[in-house]
Chains A and B, each alone.
Chain A
């Protein structure tokens, strides 16, 4: 085992331990802000795994989209929504957690059994490495052109849908709008982001 292989092994072990402990912390921690930051750490570690798998383009996309956009969006949502409410206790929450933990453990054992006992078709063709970015571009514009265009339409729909859903309805009487002298009071009537009224 030469030095490159042992480096790869050590990197894999570190990254996978970060992923395992980070995902457990995301699910189990009480404070949701810590969970969100740890989720960013998990995403970064997953991007590191992609680098180990010779996929630098997807690793960059993972960092940009997940860490840069999704995680920041989650943090914004937490800070807009967080009001430290006391959740009502539920009967038998512990048993529910235990039962679902058992179900998820069974699923884990099933997945492990499948992935270990299956004879994968190894070794496959050698990985093309840095050419992967060009190959992805060829795929996107030839045989995966339709999903690519559908993805762009999906993103547009999601953007418009998010704006429509998160928008706040502001009703201003028409007199105020027609009254040109009243422009200042019109701007005063803008509802603040979190008013008492909006929370009812």
Chain B
């Protein structure tokens, strides 16, 4: 019983790493001017969410592991998002010959 009560890595450590990853992703999402880097920042944020889900699933929900199922769905959605996002990026590049986010104003009124 004593060995079970000693946890080498507490839950909070995983949450701190995930929070840092998420904030880095948000900063990159706001500040990147390269459209590919924006997509990469979104992937970073999704990974932060996944780390949170997995750590809760392992520490609090260790027997039913709903968190792992949810993170698999998140991975699926991230894959679909990457495919569609990069296709949109390619067709934008074909029309505008630039990847600068400041010059994409196609959806403005």
Contacts and interface: CB of A to CB of B under 8 A. Distances in A.
B107 interface: no
Contact of B60 (A16, A19, A122, A166): A122
Nearest to B5: A123
Decide if the interface of chain B is mainly helix, strand, loop or mixed. Answer: helix
A163 B90 CA distance: 11
A186 interface: no
Given A27-B32, A90-B102, A108-B19, A147 B40 contact: no
A124 B76 contact: no
Contacts of A155: 76, 79-80
B16 A115 contact: yes
18 contacts: A23-B20, A23-B25, A26-B28, A27-B24, A36-B40, A43-B47, A58-B71, A61-B72, A62-B75, A81-B35, A107-B22, A111-B22, A125-B61, A126-B4, A136-B72, A165-B87, A165-B91, A199-B97
Interface in B64-97: 64-66, 68-69, 71-73, 75-84, 86-91, 93-94, 97
B84 A20 contact: no
A81 B75 contact: no
Interface string A100-136: 1100110110011001100011111111100010011
Could you say which interface size class chain B belongs to?
Answer: 35 or more
A24 interface: yes
B47 A162 contact: no
Interface residues on A, range: 35 or more
B75 A61 contact: yes
B84 to A, nearest CB: 5
Contacts of B88: 165
Contacts of A125: 61-63
A158 B84 contact: yes
A110 B28 CA distance: 19
A46 B50 contact: yes
A188 to B, nearest CB: 22
